[in-house]
A and B are shown apart, each in its own frame.
Chain A
Amino acid sequence: MISMRGVAKSFRGMPVLRNVTFDVNEGESVVLLGRSGSGKSVTLRNILGIIKPDQGKVIVDNQNVSELDLDELYPLRRKIGMLFQNAALWDSMNVYENVALALQHHAVVPRREIPARVKECLTLVGLGEDSIAKRMPSELSGGMKKRVGLARAIAVFPKYMLYDEPTTGLDPIMASIIDKLIRELNTSLKVTSLTITHDMNSAFTIADRIVMLHRGEIIFSGSVDEVKNSDDPVVHQFIHGDPDGPIKPIYTDHYEKRQAHQ
């Protein structure tokens, strides 16, 4: 279970997260929605222990991440897989080496079984052809990179999966393929998933529950149907992508503040 309890985080005096509290239950797929700059990525970084909260607790697998030192954090991170927004493949290694590195480093499976495990994971994401394993990241399309990133993340048998905008920059077909993969991994491997996205189609496909973050605070938590039927003006505007409503573009906020100041 992933649990955030009253988490607050500021950067240079600018609050990014304020009293954020939500849970991702075992086996559940939760989607965290929010505008750019609403604190979604900071939430993920807190869960991974890359940054520590100023206040509150981040509990992952019954351990308080913010109190762990690096030696204690690494064993916990071995239970977490993450798909990065831009896949973050190591560009000096080919596809096989990208997927195999953590397996070799942590001796997750016996050395002789690593090729089979890599093949299995690449097949699971639809990239099982031998020729693909030898390709460098620069020779892959955006969608293929994401799928390799996904194969790399699941190769170490994670208990938890974090997805950072998994469909951003993909065409609708590739986005659907990635969504389907995420859903399948969630149901077949029973991993607990937290996804951050702006893509509403994606959110509705993969979520058991949707949580919305606005200006660093959780303003909504509910099922897909509850989100769709929500009369909260912020939620309504966000899921329908209306230009008019309580959420204003950043430049408008800035302009209004300047006007008020003058």
Chain B
Amino acid sequence: MLKQSIRGIGASTISGLTAFGGAMILFGKALANLRNLVKDAHLYFEQARNIGVASLPLVLLIGAFTGMVSTWQANYTAGNIMPLKYLGVATFKAVIVELGPVLSGLVLAGRVGSSLSAELGTMKITEQVDALEVLAIDPVRYLVAPRLIAGMVMVPILVILAVFISMFGGFLVANTFMGVGFETYFGEIPIFFKMKDVQVMLVKSIAFGAIICLVGAWVGMNARGGAEGVGEATIKSFVASALLILFSDFFLGTLMF
């Protein structure tokens, strides 16, 4: 029993390390393909549109509700001891370094990461990836690099937009339910604004973009079996991305503050 458990832990550790190593090699290969950025620009723009523009409505919706809930909670938790003019600052601080990147990241892990692993998984299983290889077209250059780079560029842009919209969502709640005016809500933000907050948001967003697209691509490119394999890859991609987002959020947060 104990032997089996140890063996199981060992096997899981080895497979986890193998996956991590494989994903890192894929990351390196994809970055090396940046030398073809100009030549393959159309592929990068196409993926930027797929990842960025297509995800915009969802991210904005999440952003708006995040801001609304944050303002409501800030008022509920500290309304008795905190003047209302700090509601905007409380929402801003919560959203810019934490809720904006993390919630957007988790939503994008579902929206972008899962669809990426399903797309590449289907291509792998139906030999479309092999067809690229056989025609001497590097699948990493053609499929992975554009998605990864587009993710690392577009996720921060989406997060910035989500933070903006969440502030307006928060203001809507503050104004409607608490009677807080525009200047009162936003007036204190410049005083408490720190450039570091923006840096943390950007670093986290870039990292989350890389995690979502790298995990999605790696899981997809290693999919096996038929439709079941694609389904499994989709789930695996979302779970792994979500866990890595939460882990790296904590890690980056402690490292940067």
Taking Cβ atoms with an 8 Å cutoff, the residues of A that contact B are 48, 50, 70, 73-75, 77-78, 80-82, 84-86, 88-91, 101-102, 105-106, 152, 156
Contacts and interface: CB of A to CB of B under 8 A. Distances in A.
Interface in B113-141: 123, 126-128, 130-138
B133 A102 contact: no
A190 B130 CA distance: 25
B130 A88 contact: yes
Contacts of A77: 133-136
9 contacts: A48-B134, A50-B134, A70-B138, A75-B136, A77-B134, A85-B127, A88-B128, A88-B130, A101-B137
A204 B127 CA distance: 27
A70 B137 CA distance: 11
Contact of B136 (A89, A90, A106, A152): A106
A7 B122 CA distance: 31
B137 to A, nearest CB: 5
A105 B134 CA distance: 13
Interface residues of B, number: 13
A70 B29 CA distance: 12
Given A50-B130, A50-B133, A85-B127, 9 more contacts: A82-B131, A86-B127, A88-B127, A88-B130, A89-B128, A90-B128, A101-B135, A102-B135, A102-B136
Interface of B: 123, 126-128, 130-138
A84 B132 CA distance: 12
Nearest to B29: A70
Contacts of B136: 73-75, 77-78, 102, 105-106
Contacts of A84: 127, 130-131
Nearest to B119: A92
Nearest to B132: A90
Contacts of A81: 134
B149 to A, nearest CB: 19
Contacts of B128: 88-91
Contacts of B137: 101-102, 105
A116 B78 CA distance: 72
Nearest to B137: A105
A39 B139 CA distance: 25
B129 to A, nearest CB: 9
Given A74-B138, A102-B136, A156-B135, A86 B126 contact: yes
A180 to B, nearest CB: 24
A81 B136 CA distance: 10
Contacts of B127: 84-86, 88
Nearest to A106: B136
A48 B138 CA distance: 14
A3 B189 CA distance: 73
B196 to A, nearest CB: 42
Contacts of A48: 133-134
A88 B133 contact: no
A105 B132 CA distance: 11
B126 A88 contact: yes
A88 B126 CA distance: 6
Nearest to A105: B137
Contacts of A105: 135-137
A80 B134 CA distance: 7
A90 B130 contact: no
B131 A90 contact: yes
B220 to A, nearest CB: 14
Contacts of A101: 135, 137
Contacts of A75: 136
A194 to B, nearest CB: 13
A193 B46 CA distance: 37
Contacts of A156: 135
A82 B126 contact: no
Contacts of B138: 70, 74
Contacts of B134: 48, 50, 77, 80-82
Contacts of A73: 136
A89 B130 CA distance: 11
B169 to A, nearest CB: 36
Contacts of A78: 135-136
Which 3 pairs across A and B sit closest by C-beta, in order of nearness?
A88-B127, A74-B136, A88-B131
Contacts of B133: 48, 50, 77
